Amino acid sequence: MIKSIITDIKGSFTLKNGVKMPYLGLGTYQSENDQEVVDAVKNALQLGYRHLDTASVYKNEEGVGRGIRESEVDRNDIFVVSKVWNADQGYEETLKAFDESLDRMGLEYLDLYLIHWPEVGKYKETWKALEYLYAQKKIKAIGVSNFLKHHLEDVMKDCKVVPMVNQMEFHPYLVQQDLIDFCIENYIQYESWSPFMQGKVFELDICTDIAKKYNKSVAQIILRWNLQKGIVAIPKSVHAKRIASNADIFDFELSNEDVSFLDGLETGERTGPDPDNFNF
């Protein structure tokens, strides 16, 4: 369990290449590409967040870019992430999709670019494109999302650069500790999406009990659990109070017993698609 490096909202984990990735970020999935996402980004940055996560398929990259420009935070101090969608995978297609994402955001580079899903027959060529963009210094770090162990091993068989990040569905019912351990062994930073099980975690009495113990909300308990396991968390919200509440997790620490208890809730239940069985 990682303790000493959890400091404050601007703290980070260090990727294999030395790039610092803030361990708490703002997710923008389903945030509307209008004033909604602009305000969410500005609110988060004002509160001290320095990590923003979007994707081409979210259709809000323009709004995220606008929020960055309208904030008072220097672009170089913000860790910006986007992802290449399945329909855009392949070598040349990925290069084009990356340029289009940059144009939409109005940025000159990305801090992290991910393959959104392991599109069979395409993700290895897509990875080669990411390696090229990384070599051209258009991206500070490259990684994947929704890649299981066998997907990672397939990429690692003949890649020049090992993925630096793997963004996965992660919550008390889907811990996948074996995959986390594999990523740790290979210096791949684990990152979570859907840490609240699309809201289902708030219905679990056991999580409510832990929240009462620490005088914190269930969301704060879950996010703190993420960080103490060395996992980057990007909770999504467009509400200023919720964005602030999600960041109020640096004045307490879960006991080893409570971390282990949350780990032990694993059932293998997914709230999102199975990386081995999706059709989009």
Cα angle 182, 8, 181 (rounded to 5 degrees) comes to: 5
φ, ψ of residue 20 to 5 degrees: the values are: -95, 125
Q: What is the pLDDT of residue 5?
A: 80
Cα angle 77, 78, 84 (rounded to 5 degrees) comes to: 145
Q: In whole angstroms, give the CA distance from residue 129 to residue 77.
A: 26
What is the three-class DSSP state of 8?
Answer: coil
Q: What is the pLDDT of residue 138?
A: 98
Q: What is the pLDDT of residue 116?
A: 98
For the annotated catalytic residues, the residue numbers are 58
List of residues 6+ apart from 163 with CB closer than 8 A: 127, 142, 143, 144, 147, 152, 155, 156, 188
DSSP-derived letter for residue 280 is -
Q: What is the pLDDT of residue 3?
A: 44
List of residues 6+ apart from 1 with CB closer than 8 A: 228, 229, 230, 256, 259
Q: Name which CATH class applies to 19-198+232-239.
A: alpha beta
Run means of pLDDT, 10 residues per run, the chain, 280 residues: 73 97 96 93 98 97 98 97 98 98 98 98 98 98 98 98 98 98 98 95 92 97 98 96 98 97 97 95
Q: What is the pLDDT of residue 206?
A: 87
